[in-house]
Amino acid sequence: IARHRYSDKSETAINDQINVEYNVSYVYHAMFAYFDRDNIALKGLAKFFRESSEEERGHAEKLMKFQNIRGGNVKLHSIIFPPSEFAHAEKGDALYAMELALSLEKLTNEKLLSLHSVADSNNDPQMADFIENEFLTEQVEAIKKISEYVAQLRMVGKGHGVWHFDQMLLHEGDAAL
């Protein structure tokens, strides 16, 4: 009933983005579980990936609300099975996981830019505005932040430096309290 000037292509593209966000959330949730294990015990990384998972799930829910407001139908796809091990002999698990996170954020950004193109090509300024205001700036900021984490982890190498990095993540935001 609410559908007005909302193309099938826009509806499909929104559904695709919902599923991208859920899949990224699922991978981050697997990373959270990995770093929270008793034999890994990097609580800062576990916290970072748990919060990242929640954020991506929140993006999916925001897109679902948009879909419903515009009169579309949400269609969820199967979630891709994520890895459960992030050990890497050369890089170490922290750097390997953070590089994976960076690639996921860049992929999400590419998908958001494609979604914006669909809005433009279907003359849907409201959808384009929604994508710009709710997602694009935050996505670029996430890429920058994780890029810095990757750079820092590359500098510290494996071992004790990772523990210090983990403590920084664990206590990030404590000063504001």
Residue ranges of the annotated binding site for Fe cation are 21, 56, 59, 105, 139
CB 14 within 8 A of CB 72: yes
Binding site residues, as ranges?
Answer: 21, 56, 59, 105, 139
* N- to C-terminal Cα separation, the chain: 47
The C-alpha atoms of residue 56 and residue 72 are separated, in whole angstroms, by 21
Q: Which amino acid is at 2?
A: A
Identify each DSSP E strand in the chain by its residue range. none
∠ at Cα 157 (156, 163), nearest 5°? 65
**Residue type at 164?**
H
Is the four-CA dihedral 94, 100, 106, 108 of positive or negative sign? Answer: negative
Q: Quick one: residue 5, left, alpha or beta (phi over 0 = left, psi -120 to 50 = alpha)?
A: left
123: amino acid identity, one letter = N
Structure-token pair, residue 134: 């709710």
